Amino acid sequence: MSDVLVEICDGVAILTLDRPRQRNAFSGEMGRRLGELYRELDANDDVRVIVLTGTPPAFCAGADLTAGRDTFAAPTDDGFSASPVKPPAFDLRKPVIAAVNGHAIGIGLTLAMQADIRIVADDAKYAIPQVRRGVVPDAMSHWTVPRAAGMAAAAEILLTGRTFDGPEAVRLGIASRSLPAAEVLPAALEMARDIATNVAPMSAALSKRLLWGTARHGFTPEQVARYETDLHHRVMGSADAAEGVRAFLDRHDPEWSASVSTDWKELPWE
């Protein structure tokens, strides 16, 4: 049995962290499988959006503490990484929505921070408490959190390790919306289906790459202007550019034709 369930329907792939007895606590197998699925789905043109969620009542309760005091014992494997999901969600070419439908603690929250969009539950508990466990925040959270929330909020989240709820996650800037827990996944799926239908896959892929590339490389406004122009040259005059306008004017669902898996070309900053 896999620690991650997969369901694909109407262009949306739902990945569900599935260790409910352990409140979906993170395991090495979960990390490996999630990375495998990210790679597979990124290459699948039938999938246009990925939604990451957890089997209720939690999203992911963090590291599996069943080893007790040895949970964070010195690694014996030379391949140890504090970023165990490869590739991270932000390196995919399609939107990733984290439907954080319950508690997300430690790596449960730092993994969600790698998604493009986060919807959280009002009364769930959120924290990156590694500094309270004698270790250090992981999954590139020292990069993702300040870019989502700013340095002041990131310092508070990472250096205090304190717990907060969904509405405060929105106020801190690390989530887009906070809803009752039962509404989180439906809201994420509604957004995902809208993207899958109405957003050109190549346009989304190019925009996402530039968005995260700007965060990663610190592009100046002038560099962004140049790269946006480069990307416009790729898509203007394409079948999808014509179809997008035609669908809008004729009020029908667009039929996109560009294939991200086969038509993709290296970007100038990569």
Summarize the confidence of residues 9-25 as an average pLDDT.
96
Token duo for residue 142: 């020292």
The residue to which tokens 């449960």 are assigned:
108
Domain stop point among 147, 163, 195: 195
- Considering the domain architecture, whether residues 27 and 117 belong to the same structural domain is answered as yes
pLDDT at 69 over 90: no
Task: Catalogue the E-assigned strands of the chain.
Answer: 4-9, 12-17, 49-54, 58-60, 96-100, 103-105, 117-121, 126-127, 177-179
Q: What pLDDT digit, counting tens, does each position of 239-255 carry? A: 999 999 999 999 999 99
Q: How far is residue 33 CA from its own chain's centroid?
A: 15
CATH classification at residue 134: 3.90.226.10
pLDDT at 200 (0 to 100): 98
Question: SS3 for 231?
Answer: helix
- Considering the domain architecture, whether residues 59 and 184 belong to the same structural domain is answered as yes
One-letter amino acid at 199 equals V
pLDDT at 1 (0 to 100): 63
Work out the pLDDT band at 269, boundaries 50, 70, 90.
Answer: very high
Task: Give 191 or 28, the one with higher predicted confidence.
Answer: 191
Q: Which domain holds residue 23?
A: 4-195
Q: What pLDDT digit, counting tens, does each position of 74-117 carry? A: 777 777 888 999 999 999 999 999 999 999 999 999 999 999 99
Task: Catalogue the E-assigned strands of 24-149.
Answer: 49-54, 58-60, 96-100, 103-105, 117-121, 126-127
pLDDT at 184 over 90: yes
Work out the pLDDT band at 67, boundaries 50, 70, 90.
Answer: low
The residue to which tokens 């592009």 are assigned:
219
Domain stop point among 136, 162, 195: 195
Please name the residues in contact with 94: beta carbons below 8 A apart, sequence gap of 6 or more: 41, 42, 47, 48, 49, 50, 201, 204, 205, 208, 260
Model-wide pTM > 0.75? yes
pLDDT at 46 over 90: yes
pLDDT at 31 over 90: yes
Please name the residues in contact with 203: beta carbons below 8 A apart, sequence gap of 6 or more: 235, 240
Residue 270 domain-assigned (yes or no): no
How long is the chain? 270
- Considering the domain architecture, whether residues 37 and 154 belong to the same structural domain is answered as yes
Residue 98 domain-assigned (yes or no): yes
- Considering the domain architecture, whether residues 81 and 117 belong to the same structural domain is answered as yes
